[in-house]
Amino acid sequence: MDAAQRDAPVSPLERSSHTAFIHNKTLYVWGGYQVVAGQDVVLPSDEIWLCDLDSGMWERREMTGDIPPDLSGFCGANINTKLYIFGGYETAGYSNQMFSVDLSEPCCSWKRVTDTKGTTPSPRNKHSCWVHRDRLIYFGGYGCKTLSELRNTSSSNFTLEEMSWSRAVNEVTLCKGWNSEVNVFDTLTATWSMPETQGSAPSPRGCHASALLGNKGYINGGVEAAELDMFCLDLDTWTWTKLDISSAFAPLGRSWHTMTPTSDHTLFMYGGFGTNGDTLNDAWQFNTQTREWTKMIHPHKDKPRVFHTACLGRDSDVVVFGGSRNLCIVMDSMVILRLPSPHHCRDVLIFQTQPYSLSRLCEDVIGRNSELLRMQLSWLPSKLQRTLEKRMSFFSASS
């Protein structure tokens, strides 16, 4: 390998349906899939990508241990630098396995979480998670239950596919459908539980968006939801509330979108697959106090996204990574089939949701004018010099 190859910048493969989170100004990206020769190919589970958001530089880290199988539709969640993966679809079918990895350790080693208490949820994918007080709180998804399990499940919590029911022949037959269950995993005691909720619960669904504000979990949209509704679950009392929103000012219904908390009372929503059949590029802000939607002006109108991730960055920025810019589906009389599309992405999109501080504005001005101001860097403290050098690298790479 020559010097040019060694010094060439690295970046992750294009991908969709991955998981991502931000810790200490670093974006972590794991998993997902892309299309190769017209076929969906799950990306390696034995690597994770890190992006320094100040400089825009990527780093790949290898992972060992109990490597998760090839998964699609899994749910990833993090507590600080510990990443948890639950559920998904693998070659053997729907999964209810959990894996964890501590990314702060020198060697990132996966562990299969097996020694748990309580009843593990049924296998599923396309679900979501809130992280609250060291608990992983999962909602919804699509998966399978046995006939025996169905008899112990409320009909309001599980929508059974008719075709699945017609093929049921005995107690252990797996029946597929959407659920609206709430399952809690306490990471400190490794205990599963299913709290009894009350109030106006959402209908069974998956491919929805979720976000946490304080002690309240929010969900909206998703498959099996014709409109862009909004529900809130109080995670102390386990009470559901459906928020009344004027349909005249609500965004188009959608699924596979993202929702990110940007303040104590605002949620930022981007993209998704609209009920009109389009991959969407619109951004909206929802005020949980006034219960109103506001359409946001942003510079990424030419970059629609679905199957992407969105994380809260510094200064209330929303950092979007990956996804597909063009989802195509074909409908027949029985099912909806997704057509493989090569339009996967690996770019990082930054959405500004709040005015920047004077310090941030100065950083960006210096970063954009590195040739004019580089000589003056030596006048500054060393820590500030390193920060500004990263910002110069970021804007240089962007240009």
pLDDT one-digit tens code per residue, 131-140: 999 999 999 9
Out of 228-242, 273-287, 295-309, 362-376, least confident range: 362-376
- The radius of gyration of the chain from alpha carbons, rounded to an integer in Å, stands at 22
Per-residue pLDDT averaged across 103-109, rounded? 94
- How far is residue 182 CA from its own chain's centroid? 18
Query: Does the structure show a pLDDT above 60 at 73?
Result: yes
Name the more confident of 226 and 378.
Answer: 378
Within 10 Å of residue 346's Cβ, how many Cβ atoms?
Answer: 16
pTM of the model: 0.91
Chain segment 19-28, per-residue pLDDT in tens: 999 999 999 9
The secondary structure of residue 329, as a DSSP letter, is: E
Bigger pLDDT: 340 vs 391? 391
- pLDDT at residue 192, as a whole number: 98
In this predicted structure, what is the pLDDT of residue 134? Answer: 97
Confidence of residue 250 (pLDDT cuts 50, 70, 90): confident
Q: Which pLDDT band, with edges at 50, 70 and 90, does 40 fall under?
A: confident
pLDDT of 25 reads 95
Q: What pLDDT, on the 0 to 100 scale, is given for residue 140?
A: 97
More confident residue, 249 or 313: 313
- Report angle CA 348, 58, 3 to the nearest 5 degrees: 130
What is the per-residue pLDDT for 184? 98
C-beta separation of 376 from 385 below 8 A: no
What is the predicted pLDDT for the residue at 154?
77
Percent of the chain with pLDDT over 90: 74
Within 10 Å of residue 336's Cβ, how many Cβ atoms?
9
- Give the model's pLDDT for residue 162: 65
Residue 399's pLDDT is what? 67
Strand order in the sheet with 309-312: 309-312, 318-321, 348-351
Give me the chain's average pLDDT, please.
90
pLDDT (tens digit per residue) in 292-305: 999 999 999 999 99
Residue 337 pLDDT class (50, 70, 90 cuts): very low
CA pair distance 217, 205, nearest whole angstrom = 16
Spatial contact of 274 and 329, defined as CB atoms under 8 Å apart = no
pLDDT tens-digit readout, 177-207 = 999 999 999 999 999 999 999 999 999 999 9
Question: How many C-beta atoms surround the C-beta of residue 325 within 10 A?
Answer: 19
